[in-house]
Structure 1
């Protein structure tokens, strides 16, 4: 395939005429005459003076910083001068408070410079994490080919990672792997499309589509707009008393036509960027993770997709799903954004594979990270809240629940089987165990109920609107009162709640 050059990328992603170079002439130390001649030939052949160019430009009018590899210059390899230019560019982006797009196309370390150049991957990664610690977006666009130390350091450190179609991406290139191990990498394994399907990267997009993605990300991350305050208060008035029996409510949440997370995502699609997996080779359709805006307020959304789980589909809420959700928690922390968690599951996966993959530990880690993350958090029990899989995504500064939603330690039929050795007593058990949204509010587990008129499945559009308005109101209220936000508030709240239950 034809390699996309740095200038091709500038032409297709930036607003015309907006690119401003930050580069100064590279300085080399004591190098051999042969190496100096090699550098001269590389400049003449590629038309650039080093293997990266840095600068800034605008994308749809918004300033964005860039570090772009030029594969035509010694295969995009990284030497000391290259590393210094990359680090200087990252620091300048950080100091300027700019989103940063890095686009490597590199075979890795420059072999003429050896181990000292190889170790500079640490220095580049340090600069990247300094940028991320400032809660500034770090976007990666992997071009063909990207391998070696670049792929194994700053090329895999993005908040969002995209790749160009057909790009060869991997720890080491296929020729090196085969010569080193004697075994070839199967065809297609190191291609962008396979890595996207495996959850290693977030998507495969052309340079033109990359512009659209950058525009959307920058737009979502702009400061909160006044639209967040244009809410219909009547639409989010909590019902005072139950209008149907607990078991009827549970049955309602199991309706196949009940609106779920997909309805929310569909409504937010104009301002939504979905991640595709954990970033380390795990995917699960049971969970959706996205950067979005809800009524003008930027946030990270993590949620359980009821329509991807049984009985609607075959994907269960397993360890990979919760690991994916934790990536969303990390993204919210990394960008300093509120986190919205949506709960709607018939339960976590029960299988030998789930046990061997650490199902219980995945629940524990997700639960702990939601308690510990130091950003405003809102959780919504949208329907079914069954067992540890639901509990894992519950902790928040503000907890909302749909009127017919519920939360229980086990599936209702399972609870009945334990006590009565049959499933016939499930309705009675659920009434006794105080699982309903109203009982949860009375116990202090839930703060606000979202009404259903008479049931969410009968009015999916109206219900979806009320959910989004309720979440937006909760986010707005948390933004206006810092004393009700963050890990210390959550620590005090859940400790106090435990004392009250005693």
Structure 2
């Protein structure tokens, strides 16, 4: 009976080898070429079980002495040369032993030297128990290799199949700039069967499904295996250094800034009311006008994905970028929870790693207000985002689309270039709330916003804005104008050396509102005289 079971398992493995080869061939259009097969599994601990580990390996490697749970090699996807790392689940449940982990680490090393993106296909039970702690600590080799690859500014996308668990998930599967999953895939650090055996409690399988992971922002998308190649190619067109992007631009010319000195400045309260109209440009309408896809970055990787903030890879006027922006779910700029700002910070970090510009679209009625938001660290998440934007060396452009209320708006406004639609505004808090603070009612809202230098004319006088885009009769027309304005700003800021760009951004922020200062002569003292006042 045992011999019959082993024979059946060997037949299943051979069939699975064919399935893995077919999958990789389909993914790469037949271009996959395997290497690192010289790194093979032994039985380092002379591990004993019902069937000796060495005997099990001998059976699995009977037809191919170089067989392992990791298959790595070169291939091409959508014209992009890539390095592929793939699990073979039928070889000891796709687990990472010492040799399998070494193959993966070498693959990332080769990808770094050859400056190629990495695509990993994960389907694994985790770390190989028969190789014990040596295999466990070998996971760190994968972490080091991925770290070097990402530090080199090279893209990495991981695809999680059913199941992906344990050390493979932690060391390899979660570390992509994007993490996609197959529908229904089970994804967890500890498998349900193990949890149930150890704790004696049932473990709900649907809580570790790919779909649950997407809701919680632990994966970025669910992609059918048959759709994987074109979706990866679409992403590589934006992020890969080898990508030759078509110039996607609107038909209109880049608008000249509105001359607010030569015409009647917009009324601040009128701008507030117009910014709250339902039919307004949004981050979605601008991306639609660009003619490019948006490949989403989902979640803060801490269990939250605030859908009121949209983040992802796109191209604006032919300029590849990471976009971050507030949605307008009920015809108003959304409130965003702390997890949304953490998601934005994650997107900015990815943009910095891949040397992609960042474009922020601001339209919000304010940061979320309530006990739950505060308990989740709202102030910390906003403050960290501001610090992040003033520390990155990539080109940054911010667009004031409409409402710019409170901390939610200020979190994303610091940039190398700031553009505004003519009816946008920026204020410490919504005018109604400002009225309530000073007059204990909301009836003086118009008075408050008119007195706070919140409209675009005043913002340009303050030195915050670089250009103001006029609003056309339709959302589509205005969105086209914004695509071109953003593309022009990106090209201008990208022309500056990174260090010079960062210093200029910080200097500009430091100079804001300085004209309103009254500097009194300090008391003479050696300490005061040594202070850097500029």
TM-score of the alignment, normalized to the shorter chain, above 0.5:
yes
Deviation readout 1:16-37 (Å, 9 max, x if unpaired) = 3x11112232344755383332
Cross-structure match for 1:254: 276
- Aligned residues of 1:397 and 1:484 also touching (Cα < 8 A): no
Cross-structure match for 1:87: 105
Deviation readout 1:187-228 (Å, 9 max, x if unpaired) = 311111221122110111122211121110111125575737
Cross-structure match for 1:318: 337
Higher alpha-carbon deviation: 342-351 or 219-228: 219-228
SS of the equivalent of 1:113 reads helix
- Aligned residues of 1:65 and 1:100 also touching (Cα < 8 A): yes
Q: CA deviation at 1:270?
A: 3.5
Instruction: Report the Cα distance in structure 1 between the residues aligned to 2:265 and 2:486, rounded to whole angstroms.
Output: 23
Cross-structure match for 1:41: 59
Q: CA deviation at 1:45?
A: 8.1
Cross-structure match for 1:215: 233
Cross-structure match for 1:450: 469
Instruction: Report the Cα distance in structure 2 between the residues aligned to 1:353 and 1:29, rounded to whole angstroms.
Output: 53
Instruction: Report the Cα distance in structure 1 between the residues aligned to 2:171 and 2:254, rounded to whole angstroms.
Output: 51
Residue 383, structure 1, aligned to residue 402, structure 2: yes
Q: CA deviation at 1:478?
A: 1.0
Q: CA deviation at 1:43?
A: 2.6
Instruction: Report the Cα distance in structure 2 between the residues aligned to 1:347 and 1:87, rounded to whole angstroms.
Output: 45
Instruction: Report the Cα distance in structure 1 between the residues aligned to 2:283 and 2:428, rounded to whole angstroms.
Output: 22
Instruction: Report the Cα distance in structure 2 between the residues aligned to 1:404 and 1:73, rounded to whole angstroms.
Output: 62
- What's the TM-score, normalizing by structure 2? 0.87
Q: CA deviation at 1:51?
A: 0.5
Instruction: Report the Cα distance in structure 2 between the residues aligned to 1:47 and 1:417, rounded to whole angstroms.
Output: 77
Residue correspondence of structure 1 range 239-250 to structure 2 within 5 A: 239-240=259-260, 241-242=263-264, 244-250=266-272
Q: Would the alpha carbon gap of residues 172 and 242 (structure 1) be closer, same or farther in structure 2, given more than 3 Å must change?
A: farther
- Aligned residues of 1:286 and 1:321 also touching (Cα < 8 A): yes
Residue 120, structure 1, aligned to residue 138, structure 2: yes
Instruction: Report the Cα distance in structure 2 between the residues aligned to 1:269 and 1:84, rounded to whole angstroms.
Output: 42
Deviation readout 1:369-424 (Å, 9 max, x if unpaired) = 11111211000000000000000011101111111100000110111122222222
Cross-structure match for 2:37: 24
Cross-structure match for 2:325: 303
Residue 205, structure 1, aligned to residue 223, structure 2: yes
- Aligned residues of 1:76 and 1:106 also touching (Cα < 8 A): yes
SS of the equivalent of 1:393 reads helix
Higher alpha-carbon deviation: 4-13 or 209-218: 4-13
Instruction: Report the Cα distance in structure 1 between the residues aligned to 2:331 and 2:109, rounded to whole angstroms.
Output: 50
Q: Would the alpha carbon gap of residues 162 and 433 (structure 1) be closer, same or farther in structure 2, given more than 3 Å must change?
A: same
Equivalenced residue count is: 493
Instruction: Report the Cα distance in structure 2 between the residues aligned to 1:210 and 1:139, rounded to whole angstroms.
Output: 11
Q: Would the alpha carbon gap of residues 68 and 440 (structure 1) be closer, same or farther in structure 2, given more than 3 Å must change?
A: same
Instruction: Report the Cα distance in structure 1 between the residues aligned to 2:501 and 2:22, rounded to whole angstroms.
Output: 44
Instruction: Report the Cα distance in structure 1 between the residues aligned to 2:293 and 2:221, rounded to whole angstroms.
Output: 17
- Aligned residues of 1:79 and 1:110 also touching (Cα < 8 A): yes
Instruction: Report the Cα distance in structure 2 between the residues aligned to 1:81 and 1:483, rounded to whole angstroms.
Output: 41
- Aligned residues of 1:25 and 1:49 also touching (Cα < 8 A): no
- What's the TM-score, normalizing by structure 1? 0.93
Higher alpha-carbon deviation: 351-360 or 182-191: 182-191
Cross-structure match for 1:157: 175
Residue correspondence of structure 1 range 486-497 to structure 2 within 5 A: 486-497=501-512
Instruction: Report the Cα distance in structure 2 between the residues aligned to 1:215 and 1:47, rounded to whole angstroms.
Output: 34
What is the aligned-residue RMSD (CA, Å)? 2.3
Q: Would the alpha carbon gap of residues 79 and 234 (structure 1) be closer, same or farther in structure 2, given more than 3 Å must change?
A: closer
- Aligned residues of 1:224 and 1:297 also touching (Cα < 8 A): no
Cross-structure match for 1:474: 489
Instruction: Report the Cα distance in structure 2 between the residues aligned to 1:485 and 1:464, rounded to whole angstroms.
Output: 31
Cross-structure match for 2:12: none
Instruction: Report the Cα distance in structure 2 between the residues aligned to 1:338 and 1:66, rounded to whole angstroms.
Output: 27
- Aligned residues of 1:45 and 1:73 also touching (Cα < 8 A): no
Cross-structure match for 1:277: 299
Instruction: Report the Cα distance in structure 2 between the residues aligned to 1:489 and 1:303, rounded to whole angstroms.
Output: 24
Instruction: Report the Cα distance in structure 2 between the residues aligned to 1:450 and 1:500, rounded to whole angstroms.
Output: 26
Cross-structure match for 1:70: 88
Deviation readout 1:205-254 (Å, 9 max, x if unpaired) = 12221112111011112557573798854534434344542111110000
Instruction: Report the Cα distance in structure 2 between the residues aligned to 1:131 and 1:160, rounded to whole angstroms.
Output: 14
Gaps of 5+ in 2: 1-14, 518-534
Deviation readout 1:122-150 (Å, 9 max, x if unpaired) = 11011011100011001000111111111
Cross-structure match for 2:480: 465
Q: Would the alpha carbon gap of residues 192 and 279 (structure 1) be closer, same or farther in structure 2, given more than 3 Å must change?
A: same
Residue 60, structure 1, aligned to residue 78, structure 2: yes
Cross-structure match for 2:123: 105
Instruction: Report the Cα distance in structure 1 between the residues aligned to 2:513 and 2:38, rounded to whole angstroms.
Output: 63
Gaps of 5+ in 1: none
Deviation readout 1:120-178 (Å, 9 max, x if unpaired) = 11110110111000110010001111111111222111100011121111011100011
- Aligned residues of 1:483 and 1:489 also touching (Cα < 8 A): no
Higher alpha-carbon deviation: 431-440 or 273-282: 273-282
Q: Would the alpha carbon gap of residues 337 and 325 (structure 1) be closer, same or farther in structure 2, given more than 3 Å must change?
A: same
Q: Would the alpha carbon gap of residues 414 and 125 (structure 1) be closer, same or farther in structure 2, given more than 3 Å must change?
A: same
Q: CA deviation at 1:470?
A: 0.6
Match of 1:141 among 154, 159, 178: 159
Deviation readout 1:302-327 (Å, 9 max, x if unpaired) = 0111x22x5659x7311111111112
